[in-house]
Amino acid sequence: MPGYAQGSVPGSVPGSVLVIGGGWAGLAAAVTLCRHGVAVTLLEAAPRLGGRARALALDGLRVDNGQHLLVGAYHGVRELLVELGISEDRVFRRHPLRLDMRSAQRPWRLRLPRLPAPLHLLAGLLGARGLDPGERYRALRLCLALARPRAARDEDPPLGEFLRDHGQGEALQQRLWEPLCLALLNTPLALASTRVFATTLRAVFLHRRRDSDLLIPRGDLDAVLPAPARDFLQRHGATVRLRCRARRLLVSQGRLRGVVTADGEQYLAEETVLALPPAECLRLIRDEPACAGLRRQLEALRHAPICTAYLRYPPGVHLDQPMVGLLDGLGQWLFDRGYSGTPGIMAVVISGPGPHVAWPRARLARRIQEELADYFPRWPPPERSWIIREKRATFLCQHGVEELRPGVRSPLPHGWLAGDYLDTGYPATLEGAVRSGRQCAHAILAR
């Protein structure tokens, strides 16, 4: 740990912490600090909390800024909810994982039986319908290879290469591994980090059966964390400022003392947490000589988009499970938002890069509608559709990415980092964001 100068920052409350950014990482850090009696001020540039996982209204319809998937293995998120006094049942419905991959040519599906982990996965794979016996056997062997803690620990080849070396043919890669890799890492197989993929699969499938359950929010994402966290912070005396953008850092005598906002206001604190997306963090630290190494890491991180199409059908249109996979076209996963309280609303997710990101909205919406009409010929045409494109939805989780991910201590004394891009071992997820925020808070408390 760097040798931090002790003593309070003039004008700041002794022991106070400033958190910049009210996404899930910043909220997790702020709540954890607040629970331990720390005076917290949180600044958020947007008019609402939640960052990339926030609710929004589309012509009066409450949806999220892109469809999100949460699983039982999100222990950080679940523990944070417990700390906020929220029972899991209040915000989520649990559904055992079922992979139902639709295709006109070769659909397949997998159910996980009620057996202890990892037997449930082994039995599920052996019984998968639509995969031939050779494919099932090879997929099983691959899972065993990834399950070994040493798998790709010392090196981190592209996942596509690792799969080829482990006998996973073209068809298996396209039908099984590519959809999973895009869903988990938002990164195409050919580029993806084998190490992060293995860590994620181990977390979801190896420890407890319930870790692989889907956690489907009962409403929008705001009700899961941002709203309860805001109430908690306000009840416990924290200051939350919305529409308050940090424009530059206040650094003097080599230590971080706070920020100046776009309105020219100064916020000072003993400790400052930058809970920002990597590009914004980069903008703030760019000119600090002490941050040269961090700057190089952040400059090398690339980003990947996610597009979500929301479609409104008559309320009777529904799926018999919360989500299905789509193998034949551009759309990759279809979610029935009826399970989150809005019957008739379907969300189609397209993860990762591709030319569609630059298409006009109308063209993308038409394409998705046509694809759904092929998969579900009995459905009436949708009454309306909306496209949400997040060009920087996550960092690109490419092989070797772990070397680019910083820890919670910033190179500036009294400065800290939180965010889904930190070195949690997880891909850019809500779980990674919350873990980083809690780790950061505990590191500050440990001082």
List contacts with ligand FAD (CB under 6 A).
20-26, 43-46, 51-53, 66, 68-69, 245-246, 275-277, 280, 306, 308, 390, 393-394, 419-420, 428-431, 433
Residue 80 CA to residue 72 CA, distance in Å, equals 13
3-state secondary structure of 137: helix
Cβ closest to ligand FAD, residue 354 vs residue 380? 354
List, as one string, the DSSP characters of 277-346: -HHHHHHHHTT-GGGHHHHHHHHH--EEEEEEEEEE--TT---SSSEEEE-SSS--EEEEGGGGT-TTEE
Q: Least distance to ligand FAD from the beta carbon of 198, Å?
A: 18
Q: Least distance to ligand FAD from the beta carbon of 372, Å?
A: 19
With vertex at residue 354, the alpha carbon angle to CA 161 and CA 186, rounded to the nearest 5 degrees, is 55
Cβ closest to ligand FAD, residue 48 vs residue 164? 48
Residue 438 CA to residue 161 CA, distance in Å, equals 35
Contact 204, 354 (CB under 8 A): no
Q: Least distance to ligand FAD from the beta carbon of 300, Å?
A: 18
Q: Least distance to ligand FAD from the beta carbon of 388, Å?
A: 7
Buried-state track 346-362, b at ≥16 Cβ within 10 A, e below 16: bbbbbbbbeebbebeee
Residue 315 CA to residue 342 CA, distance in Å, equals 8
Cβ closest to ligand FAD, residue 48 vs residue 318? 48
- Close Cβ partners of 320 (under 8 Å, ≥ 6 residues apart): none
Q: Least distance to ligand FAD from the beta carbon of 397, Å?
A: 11
Cβ closest to ligand FAD, residue 66 vs residue 325? 66
Cβ closest to ligand FAD, residue 43 vs residue 372? 43
Cβ closest to ligand FAD, residue 136 vs residue 303? 303
Residue 350 CA to residue 281 CA, distance in Å, equals 27
- Close Cβ partners of 377 (under 8 Å, ≥ 6 residues apart): none
Q: Least distance to ligand FAD from the beta carbon of 136, Å?
A: 27
Cβ closest to ligand FAD, residue 118 vs residue 277? 277
Bridge partners for 345 per DSSP: 312
Q: Least distance to ligand FAD from the beta carbon of 153, Å?
A: 23
Q: Least distance to ligand FAD from the beta carbon of 322, Å?
A: 12
Bridge partners for 267 per DSSP: 259
CA atoms within 13 Å, Cβ hemisphere of 267: 27
Cβ closest to ligand FAD, residue 126 vs residue 260? 260
Mark out the alpha helices in 347-409 (DSSP H runs): 361-375
